[in-house]
Amino acid sequence: MHNEAQFPAATVPVLTIDGPSGSGKGTISRMVAARLGWRYLDSGALYRAVGVAAGWADLDLDDHGALVRCTFDTEVGFRDDGQGEPRVLVNGTDATDELRTETAGAAASAIAAIPEVRAALKDRQRRFRQPPGLVADGRDMGTVIFPDAPFKVFLTASAEERAQRRYKQLNDKGVSVTLDGLLREILARDARDAQRAVAPLRPADDAVHIDTTGMDIDAVVEQVLALVKP
């Protein structure tokens, strides 16, 4: 993906899809972007990439100064694997699988609470706004990064269902986890994301709420597409 804007960004339509961990926003966003032929931004991958880079450097997550420097120093790239799945490069190394671990997720959540880190990544995220359009998923896409986006969605699902989805996803990849442990981590992350001082997780005032609990993925995709297509 290119990330240098050469045009008036405000003229490019954006669909923001925000929501808590496990709400399905990543899967839905990728499918919607493919159907629309728009670009796709996984904002969480940027925070996870910094978390992975911090882990590689053995940084203390309480050392905010070191984490801010790490944010500026970390190079994040995206490439297609040839089968429609994005691969994430951290400082030139494919870290896609590591980014999806619970450790990386917890680090990303902690790092995202640091105002200077969020400020450093704000412009990097906005540079993804390129023709013909952008689908951006995250936690503050509609409230902070693209507040002028014409299309906004906030996905939710029960914590129990989100834990079940994560459990299946990780089990399918051969990762050993417990359902109870995942539920505790999801509830803890929800609390951190909702209570942080900067850009807390909350729906934009003009976002359309969709509860995906018990919903088929294709049905959610169609519901989101109906908001964008005339």
Q: State whether residue 78 is helix, strand or coil.
A: strand
Q: Is 22 annotated as a binding residue?
A: yes
Q: Is 174 annotated as a binding residue?
A: no
Nearest-angstrom CA–CA distance, 206 and 80 = 32
Q: Is 20 labelled a binding residue? A: yes
Q: Is 23 annotated as a binding residue?
A: yes
Task: Report the chain's terminal Cα–Cα distance, integer Å.
Answer: 27
The reply, when asked if residue 176 is annotated as ligand binding, is no
Identify the DSSP state of 101. S
* 214 annotated as belonging to a binding site for a ligand: no
Q: Is 44 annotated among the ligand-binding residues?
A: no
Q: Are strands 14-18 and 151-156 parallel, antiparallel or unpaired?
A: parallel
Residue 225 backbone dihedrals phi, psi, to 5 degrees: -60, -35
Contact in structure between 31 and 44 (CB atoms under 8 Å): no
Largest Cα–Cα separation, the chain: 50
**Rg of the chain over all Cα atoms, to the nearest angstrom:** 17
Annotated binding site: 19-27
Q: Which residues are annotated as a binding site for ATP?
A: 19-27
